[in-house]
Every structure is written in C-alpha cells, then in structure tokens.
Structure 1
Amino acid sequence: MNKVGIIGGLGPESTVEYYQSIIKKYQQRLGSQEVLPELVINSINMYQVFTFISNGNLDGLADYLTKAVNTVDTAGADFAIISANTPHIVFEKVQENTNIPLISIVEETYKQAESLDLNKMGLIGTKFTMEHDFFKQPFRDGNTEIIVPHEQEQQYIHEKIVAELENGIVNQETKQSYLEIIERMRKEDGIEGIILGCTELPMIIKEDDLDIPELNTTDIHINRTVDQILHS
C-alpha cells in the first residue's frame, strides 16, 4: 500500500471531505471497515494562496506549495495530492521541484470527460479557475470546448464560494442561483455537462440537481487517489 500526502486547508471543508471519503472508499474497495489507509495531511493557508494569485505571484505560490509537498514527503508519503482546483495553476512547476509524484485534479477530470465523450463542457469554480487557462487547456488540447459563465456570474460564484462554502455555509438561495447559471449555460451555450471546478461545490450542487452530466472534481480526484494507495 502507498501512503498519500494531502495538501489541505484549501479550504478546510473540502479537506475534511477528502479525509473522510478516502477512508470510506478505501474500506469499500477492501470490503472491510477494520482497515485504514495510511496518510498524512499538511494543512496550509487558503487565503495565502488567493493572495499569491491576486498579486500575480505564481512563483511565490509554486514555492509555497512545493514546501508543502516536501513536508509530506519528509513525513513518508509515497505520492501527494493538492486538495483544491485553484492551486493547480502551478501544478507543473510544483511537480518539477518535488521528489514524489503528484496526481492532478485537472488531468483526472479531463480523462473522465473524455470517457463520457463530452465535447462542450461548462466550468464553474473560483474566479481564478474560471479566468485562467490552466484548467481549460487540457480540454482544448483534446478538442473539448470549455465554456465559463458571464463575468458578473463568475464574480457571484466566486464571492459565494469564499464567503459561504469555504466556511461550511450552504445557502439554498445561493444554490438556486448557481443552478440558474448552469441552466442558462445549457440553453444559451449548449453545454453538454458541467465541471464543478471547486472542491467545495459538491456541498451545494448534487448530482440529482442537474439534467446534464456533472463532473465532481473532488470525487474524481479522491477515486484516483484511492487507486494509487492500493497500487503496489
């Protein structure tokens, strides 16, 4: 069995989901509740990550995350994951400067979309994920079109993620507004599915809320992580 190092705190709510779901899925795979995976969590500062990106200091962000990965490496992790979408803006640079392999939430989500033969996807998440190309590029390279909400919608989605979801608050009014944005994208932009490109979004948007396929990046990432834990 491999030990996973989780770079958490990005935010705390999704870190809890990663921890609990990894354990649950691991036990389901092995058919026993009397087994537990070995893991180590390094909880860092989500707001520091946002500050680096807002200031355009991607080198500073890469250094910050590299140190975080090196910490779990020292603690005995065989591989690591960054339990959020936004920090993957510097994923390649972090991987280049760390000794243990990282599993990319972006790459794993693209593989899932490819397996479903979806050619036009909507993407919601933090403003950084929606504005920048790091999440969109693998899809474009694979001839999958990525559509993001209008600028005003992006601002609303981001503000509610930071003010509510990152603090564990699930507001039904916010949920309805999110669903209305997705429905508008389906009707006006012709999206075939939606990517929940923030690891807190599954707290508020459930699979049965939508009439189109939903790519839950948190669940996709966790499934791949359990695969790697069990890989020998």
Structure 2
Amino acid sequence: MRKLGIIGGASWSSTVLYYEQINRAVAARLGGLHSARLVIESLDFESDYAAYHRSGDWAGADRVIAGAAERLKAAGAEGLLLASNTMHKNAEAAQQASGLALVDIRQATADRLQAEGRTRVALLGTRFTMTEAWAREHYEKRGIAVCELLPEWRAEVDRIIYEELAAGRVVRDSQRKLKTLITELQKQKVQAIVLGCTELVMAVDVRANVLPVYDTTAIHARAAVEWMLEEAEEARAAA
C-alpha cells in the first residue's frame, strides 16, 4: 500500500470525514485489521490559510501549502491529497515543491460526472471555487458546462461555509437555504449539483434532493484509496 500525505485542517471538520472514509474503504477492500497508511499535516485554518483568503495573499498561501507538502514528503509520503477544494488553487505550488503525485479532487469529480453523462452542473463552494478558472476548467474541458449562480447566492453559500461549516456548525436555516437553492437550480435545467467544498456535505443531504448531488469529499476519498491500493492490487493480479 502506498503512503498518502494529506494536508488537512481546512477545515478540521472535513478532514475527519476524509480520515474515516479512507480508512473504512481500505478496511473493506483488504479485510482483517488493515487500515490506511497516512501522514497528515493539519493546518490552523484561521492563521495558516483563511487569513490569506481574506487578504488576497495567494502567494503567501502557496508558501504555506508548499511547505506542508515538503514536510509530508520528508515524513515518507509517496503521494499528496489536499483535503479542500479551495486548496487546489495552491495545487501547483504543492506539487512543484514536493514532487509528489497529486490525487486531484477536480479530476476525480470530473471523471465521475463524465462517466455518468452530466453535461450541465452547478458548482457550490467558496467564492473562489465558484468563480475562478482553476476550479471550473477541469469540468469545462470535458464539455461539462458550469451554471453561473446569482451573486447573492454565491455570497450566501460562501458565508455558510466560512461562518458556519468551517467552524463545525450546521445551522438548520442554512440547510433550508441550500435546499431552496438546489430547487431553483433545477428550474434552470441544471442536471446535477457538485458540492465543491468539502464541508458542504455536512449541510446538504446527498440522497434527498430534487437533483443528483455529487459529494466531492466522498469522490476524492475513493480516488485516494484507488491510488493507494493500485500497485498492491496489480501485484496480486500478476502473481
């Protein structure tokens, strides 16, 4: 099994989901007492990352994420997972600094959407994820159109993430708002919702909505397990 390095803490709430889902999947695949070989660099979200969002200092954020990736490599990581959609804005810096292969949340999600024939989606996440090319282009390159949200909805989704979910709080009124948003997007002929923030699954029921909902945290965790077990399973098949 390959050892995976995870940069987490952005936020800790979603990093918990990654840890549990990756370990459960490894145990299910390998049986017995198997668990995942992981190294985790957990950020102080407030000081190490969110502060750079507020100031627009993305070069500073690059340095933080690149440094974390280098430390994971030094700790024996063979690959890298950024446990945050927004953190993929810093993916290139992390890869260049560490030389580690990246299990990319955008790539894994685009693969799934394409395999299931989705051609028009809404991407919910932080304001950066919803509007910037680094997040959208992986979908658009596959011929998957990303529907524009109204500015007031973008602001509200961003607020829910930063003020509530990133702090581990799930507010009932915000859950209702997100459900209303998804219902409105259905009327715009959107085929599916992409939860492009790893915390959003805490507030959106992926099984009980008017549209199919793609949980990027779960998709990313499964892709990580595939990468971790790929060599071992190929060796068993060849034996």
Q: TM-score band, normalised by the shorter chain?
A: over 0.9
In structure 2, distance between residues paired with 1:173 and 1:53:
26
Long gaps (5+) in structure 2: 232-239
Q: Which deviates more, 7-16 or 164-173? A: 164-173
Q: Does 1:201 align with 2:197?
A: no
Map 1:1-232 to 2 at 5 A.
1-32=1-32, 34-47=33-46, 48-187=48-187, 189-232=188-231
Long gaps (5+) in structure 1: none
User: Aligned pair count?
Assistant: 230
1:18-61 CA deviation, whole Å, 9 max, x = no partner? 111111111011133x1112111100132332332343322222
Task: Give the counterpart letter for 1:38 in structure 2.
Answer: R
In structure 1, distance between residues paired with 2:57 and 2:10:
18
1:63-118 CA deviation, whole Å, 9 max, x = no partner? 21111011111111111100000011122232223221111111111111111111
In structure 2, distance between residues paired with 1:76 and 1:148:
41
Q: Which deviates more, 18-27 or 165-174? A: 165-174
Native 8 Å contact 1:124 1:148 kept in 2: no
In structure 2, distance between residues paired with 1:133 and 1:45:
27
Task: Give the counterpart letter for 2:112 in structure 1.
Answer: Q
SS at match of 1:227: helix
SS at match of 2:133: coil
In structure 2, distance between residues paired with 1:224 and 1:44:
22
| RMSD (Å) for aligned C-alpha atoms | 1.4
Native 8 Å contact 1:124 1:198 kept in 2: yes
Shift of 1:146: 0.2
Shift of 1:220: 0.6
Shift of 1:12: 0.6
In structure 2, distance between residues paired with 1:148 and 1:39:
37
Native 8 Å contact 1:120 1:192 kept in 2: yes
Task: Give the counterpart letter for 2:96 in structure 1.
Answer: E
